[in-house]
Amino acid sequence: MQLDLSGRTALITGSTQGIGYAIAQGLARAGARVAINGRTAERVDEAVRQLQQDVPGAQAVAAAADVTTEDGAADLLRSLPRVDVLINNLGIFGAQPALEITDDDWRRYFEVNVLAAVRLTRAYLPGMTRQGWGRVQYLASDSAVVIPAEMIHYGMSKTALLAASRGFAKEAAGTGVTVNSVIAGPTHTGGVEKFVYELVDSTLPWEQAQRQFMREHRPQSLLQRLIEPEEIANMVVYLSSPLASATTGAAVRVDGGYVDSILP
Protein backbone atom coordinates (compact mmCIF):
# COMPACT_ATOMS: atom_id res chain seq x y z
CA MET A 1 0.00 0.00 0.00
CA GLN A 2 1.17 3.51 -0.79
CA LEU A 3 0.60 5.61 2.32
CA ASP A 4 1.37 9.00 0.83
CA LEU A 5 0.92 12.06 3.04
CA SER A 6 3.07 14.42 1.03
CA GLY A 7 1.96 18.01 1.41
CA ARG A 8 0.12 17.32 4.67
CA THR A 9 1.04 18.71 8.09
CA ALA A 10 0.57 16.42 11.07
CA LEU A 11 0.61 17.40 14.75
CA ILE A 12 1.24 14.69 17.33
CA THR A 13 0.80 15.75 20.94
CA GLY A 14 3.21 14.31 23.47
CA SER A 15 5.56 13.13 20.74
CA THR A 16 9.06 13.54 22.15
CA GLN A 17 9.19 9.87 23.14
CA GLY A 18 7.33 6.57 23.25
CA ILE A 19 4.25 5.95 21.11
CA GLY A 20 4.03 9.61 20.08
CA TYR A 21 7.57 9.62 18.73
CA ALA A 22 6.99 6.33 16.89
CA ILE A 23 3.90 7.89 15.27
CA ALA A 24 5.97 10.92 14.26
CA GLN A 25 8.49 8.60 12.62
CA GLY A 26 5.79 6.74 10.73
CA LEU A 27 4.08 9.88 9.48
CA ALA A 28 7.41 11.39 8.43
CA ARG A 29 8.23 8.26 6.44
CA ALA A 30 4.87 8.66 4.69
CA GLY A 31 5.93 12.14 3.61
CA ALA A 32 4.06 14.31 6.09
CA ARG A 33 5.48 17.47 7.60
CA VAL A 34 5.53 16.51 11.26
CA ALA A 35 5.09 18.85 14.22
CA ILE A 36 6.71 17.45 17.35
CA ASN A 37 5.03 18.54 20.58
CA GLY A 38 6.15 18.53 24.18
CA ARG A 39 6.16 20.90 27.12
CA THR A 40 9.77 22.11 26.90
CA ALA A 41 11.62 23.55 23.94
CA GLU A 42 14.75 21.59 24.82
CA ARG A 43 13.03 18.20 24.69
CA VAL A 44 11.16 19.11 21.52
CA ASP A 45 14.27 20.36 19.73
CA GLU A 46 16.12 17.19 20.72
CA ALA A 47 13.30 15.03 19.34
CA VAL A 48 13.21 17.03 16.09
CA ARG A 49 16.94 16.46 15.62
CA GLN A 50 16.56 12.77 16.40
CA LEU A 51 13.68 12.40 13.93
CA GLN A 52 15.72 14.03 11.18
CA GLN A 53 18.48 11.50 11.87
CA ASP A 54 16.11 8.53 12.03
CA VAL A 55 14.16 9.50 8.91
CA PRO A 56 16.52 11.12 6.38
CA GLY A 57 14.80 13.98 4.60
CA ALA A 58 12.06 14.23 7.23
CA GLN A 59 10.22 17.54 7.43
CA ALA A 60 9.99 18.18 11.16
CA VAL A 61 9.09 21.32 13.05
CA ALA A 62 9.15 22.13 16.75
CA ALA A 63 5.81 22.75 18.46
CA ALA A 64 6.71 23.21 22.12
CA ALA A 65 3.64 23.97 24.25
CA ASP A 66 1.80 22.65 27.27
CA VAL A 67 -1.46 21.74 25.57
CA THR A 68 -3.06 20.76 28.88
CA THR A 69 -3.67 24.47 29.53
CA GLU A 70 -5.71 26.99 27.58
CA ASP A 71 -2.74 29.36 27.35
CA GLY A 72 -0.45 26.59 26.11
CA ALA A 73 -2.93 25.52 23.46
CA ALA A 74 -3.29 29.15 22.34
CA ASP A 75 0.50 29.42 22.01
CA LEU A 76 0.53 26.30 19.87
CA LEU A 77 -2.23 27.59 17.62
CA ARG A 78 -0.34 30.82 17.04
CA SER A 79 2.78 28.92 15.95
CA LEU A 80 0.88 26.23 14.05
CA PRO A 81 -2.46 27.66 12.92
CA ARG A 82 -3.41 24.85 10.53
CA VAL A 83 -2.89 21.10 10.49
CA ASP A 84 -4.26 18.38 8.25
CA VAL A 85 -3.71 15.51 10.66
CA LEU A 86 -4.21 15.83 14.42
CA ILE A 87 -3.06 12.93 16.59
CA ASN A 88 -4.16 13.37 20.20
CA ASN A 89 -1.56 11.12 21.80
CA LEU A 90 -0.73 12.96 25.03
CA GLY A 91 -1.73 11.09 28.17
CA ILE A 92 -0.74 10.22 31.70
CA PHE A 93 -1.25 7.00 33.65
CA GLY A 94 -0.38 5.44 36.96
CA ALA A 95 -1.57 2.88 39.48
CA GLN A 96 -3.59 4.03 42.47
CA PRO A 97 -6.06 2.27 44.80
CA ALA A 98 -9.59 3.17 43.75
CA LEU A 99 -10.69 4.61 47.07
CA GLU A 100 -7.56 6.74 47.34
CA ILE A 101 -8.08 8.64 44.08
CA THR A 102 -8.79 12.22 45.14
CA ASP A 103 -10.97 14.82 43.46
CA ASP A 104 -7.82 16.54 42.24
CA ASP A 105 -6.56 13.27 40.72
CA TRP A 106 -9.84 12.74 38.90
CA ARG A 107 -9.73 16.30 37.55
CA ARG A 108 -6.09 16.01 36.48
CA TYR A 109 -6.68 12.83 34.50
CA PHE A 110 -9.71 14.31 32.78
CA GLU A 111 -7.99 17.60 31.97
CA VAL A 112 -4.79 16.02 30.63
CA ASN A 113 -6.14 12.93 28.90
CA VAL A 114 -9.48 14.23 27.65
CA LEU A 115 -9.92 17.99 27.73
CA ALA A 116 -6.58 18.73 26.03
CA ALA A 117 -7.61 16.54 23.08
CA VAL A 118 -11.10 18.04 22.92
CA ARG A 119 -9.67 21.57 23.02
CA LEU A 120 -7.33 20.92 20.07
CA THR A 121 -10.06 19.16 18.09
CA ARG A 122 -12.31 22.17 18.60
CA ALA A 123 -9.51 24.42 17.35
CA TYR A 124 -8.36 22.47 14.29
CA LEU A 125 -11.48 20.66 13.04
CA PRO A 126 -13.12 23.75 11.44
CA GLY A 127 -10.10 24.33 9.20
CA MET A 128 -10.13 20.70 8.11
CA THR A 129 -13.83 20.78 7.27
CA ARG A 130 -13.42 24.01 5.28
CA GLN A 131 -10.75 22.42 3.10
CA GLY A 132 -12.72 19.18 2.77
CA TRP A 133 -10.00 16.89 4.10
CA GLY A 134 -8.52 16.03 7.46
CA ARG A 135 -7.78 13.36 9.99
CA VAL A 136 -8.33 13.47 13.76
CA GLN A 137 -7.33 10.57 15.98
CA TYR A 138 -7.42 9.86 19.69
CA LEU A 139 -5.02 7.41 21.31
CA ALA A 140 -7.31 5.42 23.54
CA SER A 141 -6.53 2.19 25.35
CA ASP A 142 -7.82 -1.25 26.15
CA SER A 143 -8.40 0.31 29.57
CA ALA A 144 -11.30 2.22 28.00
CA VAL A 145 -13.17 -1.06 27.67
CA VAL A 146 -11.57 -3.30 30.29
CA ILE A 147 -11.30 -0.87 33.21
CA PRO A 148 -8.20 -1.82 35.27
CA ALA A 149 -8.90 -2.07 39.00
CA GLU A 150 -5.56 -0.42 39.78
CA MET A 151 -6.24 2.74 37.74
CA ILE A 152 -9.92 3.38 37.18
CA HIS A 153 -9.33 7.13 36.77
CA TYR A 154 -7.15 6.36 33.74
CA GLY A 155 -9.73 3.95 32.34
CA MET A 156 -12.44 6.58 32.77
CA SER A 157 -10.43 9.09 30.76
CA LYS A 158 -9.88 6.67 27.89
CA THR A 159 -13.56 5.72 27.81
CA ALA A 160 -14.34 9.43 27.54
CA LEU A 161 -12.06 9.67 24.51
CA LEU A 162 -14.12 7.03 22.71
CA ALA A 163 -17.23 9.10 23.29
CA ALA A 164 -15.55 12.34 22.19
CA SER A 165 -14.20 10.68 19.06
CA ARG A 166 -17.58 9.32 18.03
CA GLY A 167 -19.26 12.64 18.71
CA PHE A 168 -16.77 14.70 16.71
CA ALA A 169 -17.02 12.19 13.86
CA LYS A 170 -20.73 13.04 13.69
CA GLU A 171 -19.88 16.75 13.72
CA ALA A 172 -17.58 16.15 10.72
CA ALA A 173 -20.07 13.95 8.83
CA GLY A 174 -19.96 14.41 5.07
CA THR A 175 -17.04 16.86 5.10
CA GLY A 176 -14.19 14.57 4.01
CA VAL A 177 -12.74 14.65 7.51
CA THR A 178 -12.50 11.40 9.47
CA VAL A 179 -12.34 11.10 13.26
CA ASN A 180 -11.32 7.85 14.94
CA SER A 181 -9.92 6.36 18.11
CA VAL A 182 -7.12 3.83 18.27
CA ILE A 183 -7.45 1.36 21.13
CA ALA A 184 -3.86 0.55 22.01
CA GLY A 185 -3.09 -2.53 24.08
CA PRO A 186 -0.34 -2.85 26.69
CA THR A 187 2.63 -1.20 24.97
CA HIS A 188 6.36 -1.29 25.66
CA THR A 189 7.53 2.22 26.54
CA GLY A 190 9.84 3.64 29.19
CA GLY A 191 6.88 4.75 31.25
CA VAL A 192 5.30 1.32 31.04
CA GLU A 193 8.54 -0.33 32.17
CA LYS A 194 8.39 1.83 35.30
CA PHE A 195 4.71 0.92 35.75
CA VAL A 196 5.46 -2.80 35.35
CA TYR A 197 8.09 -2.64 38.06
CA GLU A 198 5.56 -0.99 40.38
CA LEU A 199 3.46 -4.15 40.13
CA VAL A 200 6.10 -6.93 40.02
CA ASP A 201 9.42 -7.63 41.72
CA SER A 202 11.71 -4.73 40.78
CA THR A 203 14.79 -6.95 40.99
CA LEU A 204 13.67 -9.17 38.10
CA PRO A 205 15.34 -8.84 34.67
CA TRP A 206 13.09 -7.01 32.19
CA GLU A 207 12.06 -9.99 30.07
CA GLN A 208 11.09 -11.97 33.17
CA ALA A 209 9.30 -8.97 34.69
CA GLN A 210 7.35 -8.41 31.45
CA ARG A 211 6.22 -12.04 31.32
CA GLN A 212 5.12 -11.94 34.96
CA PHE A 213 3.24 -8.66 34.42
CA MET A 214 1.37 -10.02 31.41
CA ARG A 215 0.60 -13.31 33.16
CA GLU A 216 -0.65 -11.74 36.39
CA HIS A 217 -2.08 -8.37 35.32
CA ARG A 218 -2.92 -8.68 31.61
CA PRO A 219 -3.73 -12.39 31.13
CA GLN A 220 -6.34 -11.61 28.43
CA SER A 221 -3.63 -10.67 25.91
CA LEU A 222 -3.48 -13.07 22.98
CA LEU A 223 -0.03 -11.77 22.05
CA GLN A 224 1.21 -12.57 25.57
CA ARG A 225 3.77 -9.78 25.21
CA LEU A 226 3.82 -6.02 25.23
CA ILE A 227 3.13 -4.30 21.92
CA GLU A 228 5.95 -2.26 20.42
CA PRO A 229 5.25 1.46 19.76
CA GLU A 230 5.88 1.00 16.03
CA GLU A 231 2.99 -1.47 15.88
CA ILE A 232 0.62 1.20 17.20
CA ALA A 233 2.12 3.76 14.83
CA ASN A 234 1.44 1.56 11.80
CA MET A 235 -2.30 1.74 12.44
CA VAL A 236 -2.22 5.48 13.11
CA VAL A 237 -0.36 6.14 9.85
CA TYR A 238 -2.86 4.06 7.89
CA LEU A 239 -5.83 5.88 9.43
CA SER A 240 -4.12 9.18 8.60
CA SER A 241 -3.80 8.27 4.94
CA PRO A 242 -6.20 8.73 2.02
CA LEU A 243 -6.65 4.94 1.95
CA ALA A 244 -8.66 5.10 5.20
CA SER A 245 -11.25 7.48 3.76
CA ALA A 246 -14.21 5.22 4.64
CA THR A 247 -13.21 4.64 8.27
CA THR A 248 -14.66 7.23 10.61
CA GLY A 249 -16.40 7.24 13.97
CA ALA A 250 -14.58 4.00 14.73
CA ALA A 251 -12.64 2.61 17.67
CA VAL A 252 -9.95 0.60 15.93
CA ARG A 253 -8.14 -1.98 18.04
CA VAL A 254 -4.38 -2.53 18.11
CA ASP A 255 -4.57 -4.39 21.39
CA GLY A 256 -3.02 -7.78 20.74
CA GLY A 257 -6.42 -9.36 21.23
CA TYR A 258 -6.58 -8.07 24.79
CA VAL A 259 -10.24 -7.01 24.68
CA ASP A 260 -12.29 -10.19 24.71
CA SER A 261 -14.82 -9.10 22.12
CA ILE A 262 -15.38 -9.43 18.39
CA LEU A 263 -16.47 -5.76 18.38
CA PRO A 264 -14.67 -2.73 19.93
d(CA 249, CA 32): 23
Spatial strand order in the sheet of 177-184: 59-64, 33-38, 9-12, 85-88, 134-141, 177-184, 251-254
Catalytic residue flag (residue 154): yes
Instruction: Identify the DSSP state of 259.
Output: S
Task: Return the amino acid letter for 187.
Answer: T
Q: Is 181 helix (H, G, I), strand (E, B) or coil?
A: strand
Contacts of 203 (CB under 8 A, 6+ apart): none
> Which residue among the candidates 21, 109, 124, 154 is catalytic per the annotation?
154
Give which of 102, 95, 39 is closest to 67, Cα–Cα: 39
Residues 6 or more apart in contact with residue 224 via CB below 8 angstroms? 214
- Active site positions, annotated: 154
